[in-house]
Amino acid sequence: MQNTHMQHIAPEDFAATVLKWQQQHGRHDLPWQQPATPYRVLVSEIMLQQTQVVTVIPYFQRWMQAFPSISALANASEDEVMALWQGLGYYSRARNLQKAARYIELELGGEFPSELKQLEMIPGVGRYTAGAIRSFAYDSYGPIVDGNVRRLFCRLFAIEGQPTTAAVNKALWQQAERLTPELNNRRFAQGLLDLGATLCKPRNPECTRCPFNHACAAYTQNRVGELPTAKLKKTLPTKTGHFLWLPNEANVMLSKRPDTGIWASLWCLPEVSEAPAEATLVASFKHTFSHYKLIAKVWQPEADAAVWRELREANTHYQRAPINLQNIHEFGLPAPMLKLLNKLLQEDSNG
């Protein structure tokens, strides 16, 4: 599976090259770097899991203002937490962060752990995040493999095969463990991530500026375009969801979704299992989740009052929330719902 040509690069040489490059060309002004406390690193790493740095920065800053410490987050309400996450997507990350804060607060007496194994016991913290906290917050040995490192190592060492398979994963972690130094871990880890994000990019990597180009298997064998091996494309199934648009003066009925399933614990237009019998289709939109595509249809029933009554009686989760454009930010809403609500409220106030 692997090309041997960089197998024997001495870890000291590898680390020295990464550190030197990071010093000169890496990123030094990310908000979670100053100061890099374990809590700030945890929050930034969870936010960065599926999201780009530029998008994360303002979210990170707002979050730190609202929840400056583990205990502030542990004691916050779920609605406050979800509202601050609104628009970042993959909302289970927000719930996990709060679970993590409560775990550290209640189970560990507020003491943030520092060993890899203890870190991996925190809810939502896997091998990568544990390594990142060790490296960034404690400046200690903590191997990391994320999407950036994966791409970099697959190319450097010509690691082939579907990137999510156990064999590829094992090869990547072996390299990470072998090459991670015992000193200067904060800068080393940042250097690896920066190399992947700014030079060894998914498309058009900047190999001529790369400090490893002389030794990189992909570059020297002219295989940069074929590594890492492309993921097999899967076709996602499509589902239709029916939602109700029930405006009432300045209010529109929203419901808080259950704490599992799509958009868990977020506020949404009430969802019903099928389209109401007598109703007008006021809007529709598409949204892709990781495992299916949703076609959302939004209906305004003819008999608003009867539907309100029925919904209130049918399910105690359904709450009537006075929502308008002024206080919409107080609720955690999924981004496509928020966009749709803004549009419908706008149309409603115009006509």
User: What does the H/E/C string look like for 141-158?
Assistant: CCCCCCHHHHHHHHHHCC
Q: Which H helix or E strand runs over 322? A: none
User: Least distance from C-beta 52 to ligand SF4, angstroms?
Assistant: 19
Q: Say whether residue 152 binds ligand SF4 (CB under 6 A).
A: yes
Q: Residue 159 carries which side chain, given as an amino acid letter?
A: I
* Shortest separation between residue 216's beta carbon and ligand SF4, angstroms: 3
Least Å from the CB of residue 223 to ligand SF4: 9
Residue number, 224 or 250, with CB nearest to ligand SF4:
224
Is 182 a known active-site residue?
Answer: no
**For ligand SF4, how many residues bind (rule: CB under 6 A)?**
14
**What values do phi and psi take at 302, rounded to 5?**
-65, -50
Longest dimension (CA), the chain: 74
Among 30, 74, 176, 200, binds ligand SF4 (CB under 6 A): 200
**Among the listed residues 9, 207, 264, 345, the single contact to ligand SF4 using CB under 6 A:** 207
Beta strands 318-319 and 247-248 are unpaired
Q: What whole-number distance in Å separates Cα of residue 69 and Cα of residue 275?
A: 45
Nearest one of 185, 206, 197 to 135, comparing CA atoms = 185
How far apart CA 298 and CA 301 sit, in angstroms, is 10
Please spell the DSSP secondary structure of 96-111, one letter per residue: HHHHHHHIIIIISTT-
Position among 6, 43, 130, 210 found at the interface with ligand SF4 (CB under 6 A): 210
Tokens of 159: 């690691």
**Interface with ligand SF4 includes 19 (CB under 6 A)?**
no
- Which residue, chain included where needed, has tokens 């589902």? 239
- Report the residue from 16, 66, 108, 224 that binds ligand SF4 according to the rule CB under 6 A: 224
Q: Is the previous residue joined to 228 through a cis bond, with omega within 30 degrees of 0?
A: yes
Q: Which of 212, 243, 263, 331 binds ligand SF4 (CB under 6 A)?
A: 212
What is the spatial distance between Cα 333 and Cα 315, in angstroms, rounded to a whole number? 20
Q: Tokens for 111?
A: 């003491």
Candidates 143, 163, 191, 205: give the one binding ligand SF4 (CB under 6 A): 205
SS3 52: coil
**Residue 206 C-beta: closest distance to ligand SF4, Å:** 6
By the rule CB under 6 A, 193 interacts with ligand SF4: no
In this structure, the dihedral spanned by the alpha carbons of residues 265, 62, 90 and 296, taken in order and rounded to 10 degrees, is 70
From residue 19, alpha-carbon distances to 128, 191, 193, 214, 217 in Å are 20, 6, 12, 17, 21
Q: Please identify, among the stretches 98-106, 172-180, 214-222, 309-317, the one whose residues bind ligand SF4 according to the rule CB under 6 A.
A: 214-222
Q: Which residue in the set 213, 229, 300, 319 belongs to the binding site for ligand SF4 (CB under 6 A)?
A: 213
What is the smallest separation between the CB atom of 207 and ligand SF4, expressed in angstroms?
Answer: 3
Q: Which stretch binds ligand SF4 (CB under 6 A): 56-64, 105-113, 131-139, 204-212?
A: 204-212
9 near ligand SF4, judged by CB under 6 A: no
The residue within the footprint of ligand SF4, chosen from 56, 199, 253, 266 (CB under 6 A), is 199
The CB-of-156 to ligand SF4 minimum distance in angstroms stands at 5
Backbone angles phi, psi at 198, to 5 degrees: -110, -25
Q: Which one of the listed residues 45, 80, 120, 206 is annotated catalytic? A: 45
Q: Is 156 in the site for ligand SF4 (CB under 6 A)?
A: yes
Least distance to ligand SF4, CB of residue 19, Å: 16
By C-beta, is 15 or 298 nearer to ligand SF4? 15
The catalytic site residues sit at 45
Residues within the interface to ligand SF4 (CB under 6 A): 152, 155-156, 199-200, 205, 207, 210, 212-213, 216, 218-219, 224
